[in-house]
Amino acid sequence: MRGTVAKVTAFLLVLVLSGMAVIGFLSYTRNIDALRQSGRENIVWAASQLEIELGRFTRSLQDFAAGEPGVDADAVNRRYDILWSRLVLFSEGSVGDRLSEYDAGEDLIAGLFDTVRAVEPQIVGIAGTPPADVATLIATFDAFGPPLRGFSAAVNDGEVIKSAAARDLARDSARATGILILCAILLAQAALVYIYLESRRYQRLADHNLQLADAAEAGNRAKSRFLTMMSHELRTPMNGVLGLLALLRQGGLQPTQTRLVEQAERSGQQMTAMLSDILDFAALQDNQLEMEIAPFRITELARAVDDLFAPEARRAGIGFSVSVDPDAPDAVTGDFARLRQSVAHFAAYLVNTAVIRDLSVRFAHADGQLTVDLLFAHADAGADWRPELILGRAEASADRFASDALGPAVARSMIELMGGDIRLAPERGEQIAVRISAPLDALADSRPSVGIRTGSAALEAICRSGLPDALVRLLPSGSSDLPDILLLDSALCDDGHTVAGLRAAAPDIRILSLGEPRDARAVDGVIAMPIDMAGFRERLRDLAS
């Protein structure tokens, strides 16, 4: 809240400073413009020039009447034109407007203008004008002399007053601008002080938060150390108990006693697994659990889940099956151990709490995603399982962590750390599906494909049993696909056209004869009978490389 107030205050302060600067600038500019206008137009000069030109025109009339040399009718007309232009100035532009202000109510200039226009014919034809008429003209214009002198004086006095007022305004504006600038400086300094104080406050808050973060991190480290220590401390006596139980079971116990010992062993193993889950959960909470990414086969993961969970399912009396989508790639990259652990946790939670009859685990892979579907039919009667513990949507008001939720919580966190998710959706019929998805990249299968063509089912079975999946990819019996390596019955090698047809269809195919053919040069190698499995595998490994 205080941060918002500080931002609003700073914004308003900037607006106030900007407004004060604009007001001072406009005021100063306006008064400077007034001074410039006063000096540029020079109203006093315009008024005095009218008086001077009237005197010059009257003097030219007097000299013309007296017959002064060099003063003729043209000279009089030139002076008349100049006087006319001075009068026209009063009716044009801002100068005329300001001069007219001083003549308002007197109409001196208007009367002079009317007189000048009235005598224009006489002036134009003054060459033949009698001296008496010229004298009349002189008297007419002399009458305007004294009033014009008074008009010029009035203009001069008025402009002096206006100039003084303009200077006073400029001085006042400069003073006001200075005051505004001073206020702006003071406000800016106040803003700087405020910003400094706020920055110090935020720095103190940041330091305090850093201390709290350090304290929380230290607490987490202490918790992790405590959990690690307690886990090791509890594992040691638990392993001792499990060892003694194993020895006790070998001592020829009665069936009832053996059953009790096995129950005690399972309880101890569950306790050991729970300790591992606690450590994993603490590492996940501290962001210290690292994924071990490595290539593995989906079938191996399925087999590991089956080996890990099938005994528990049998003890619980439910059907359990694991299957792999045939379209899934053979190998992917990911954390094999964490995936196995996560699937086993979810399966164990469902078996222990959901009251189910059968559980099917299906592995598939498409579009870079490994999906594991746990399919089951849930019986409502007597069931207390909570799907939100699988999906991570437990009630926020819960004041304790359910013991049956530890496994799903660890598994869910591991899947999310891999970038995957968990969904719960209805499946066909009464079945429910818990779908685990994780992004795992498929690996290209670099194993050579191997096909077997022989008329003996027993020989084919022997060959298949001796070829591990890790070495080659066996094609199904009767497949029409041409393999990289073909194990061909020696009888087929000798028929004269089978090998030739295979070479024509696949020039790069490698053909091994099962038994000695008549022409060993037609094939790439011979597997002697009976088959030496070690040599058999070594020969295939050489061809594969």
CATH code of the domain covering residue 486: 3.40.50.2300
| 39 pLDDT more than 80 | no
CA angle 500, 512, 446 (to 5 degrees): 105
Q: What is the pLDDT of residue 396?
A: 40
| N- to C-terminal Cα separation, the chain | 71
Has residue 384 been placed in a domain?
A: yes
pLDDT in tens, 259-301: 888 778 777 777 777 777 777 777 777 777 778 888 888 888 8
Tallying the residues shown for the chain, one arrives at 545
State mean pLDDT over 200-209. Answer: 89
25 lies in the same domain as 151: yes
pTM: 0.48
> Are residue 389 and residue 457 in the same domain, yes or no?
no
Rounded CA separation 381/529 (Å): 63
Better pLDDT: 515 or 230: 515
Written as one string, the DSSP assignment of 426-462 is E-STTEEEEEEEEE-EEEP--SPEEEEE-S-HHHHHH
Checking 120-124 for CB contacts under 8 A at 24+ apart, the result is 120/80, 123/76, 123/77, 123/80, 124/77
Average pLDDT, integer, range 475-481: 79
Q: Are residues 334 and 465 in the same domain?
A: no
Statement to judge: residues 413 and 509 lie in one domain: no
Residue 22 has a pLDDT of: 64
Can you give the CATH number for the domain in which 83 is found? 1.20.120
Domain end among 148, 177, 206: 177
- In contact, 517 and 529? CB cutoff 8 Å: no
- What does DSSP assign to residue 332? E
Same domain, 438 and 389: yes
Residue 499 and residue 436 in one domain = no
Within this chain, do residues 430 and 359 fall inside the same structural domain, yes or no? Answer: yes
Mean pLDDT of 69-83: 81
> Is residue 190 in a domain?
no
Is residue 385 in some structural domain?
Answer: yes
Residue 151 in domain: yes
What's the Cα-to-Cα distance from 493 to each of 346, 535, 536, 537, rounded to whole Å? 54, 21, 18, 21
d(CA 99, CA 147) in angstroms, rounded, equals: 15
Same domain, 28 and 165: yes
**Which of 162, 177, 192 marks a domain boundary?**
177
Examine residue 271 and state whether it is found in any structural domain, yes or no. no
Packing angle, helices 43-66 and 73-89, rounded to 10: 160
Q: Residue 160: is its pLDDT beyond 70? A: yes
- 406 lies in the same domain as 461: no
Rounded-to-integer distance, Cα 237 and Cα 268, Å: 10
Q: Is residue 351 part of a domain?
A: yes
What is the rounded CA–CA span in Å between residue 263 and residue 300? 29
The Cβ of residue 108 has, within 10 Å, a number of other Cβ atoms equal to 16
Q: How high is the mean pLDDT of the chain?
A: 77
The predicted pLDDT at position 363 comes to 92
Domain that holds residue 385: 294-393+401-443
Name, of 27-31, 392-396, 433-437, the range with top average pLDDT.
433-437
Flag whether 247 is in a domain: no
* 474 in the same domain as 532: yes
Up-side HSE of residue 415: CA atoms within 13 Å toward CB?
A: 28
Compute the distance between CA of residue 295 and CA of residue 335 in angstroms, rounded to an integer: 8
The SS3 call for residue 209 is: helix
pLDDT of residue 398: 43
Which residue in 274, 282, 305 sits closest to 370, CA to CA? 305
The domain that contains 316 carries what CATH number? 3.30.565.10
Residues 300 and 425 in one domain: yes
Q: What percent of the chain has pLDDT over 70?
A: 81
Dihedral-angle region of residue 42 (phi above 0 means left; psi in -120 to 50 means alpha; beta otherwise) = left
Do residue 17 and residue 156 come from a single domain?
yes
**285/277 Cα distance (integer angstroms):** 12
With H, G, I as helix, E, B as strand and everything else as coil, classify residue 293. coil
Q: How many domains does the chain have?
A: 3
Q: Cα–Cα distance between 377 and 380 in angstroms, integer?
A: 10
Section 347-355 average pLDDT = 75
Q: Residue 248 pLDDT > 50, yes or no?
A: yes
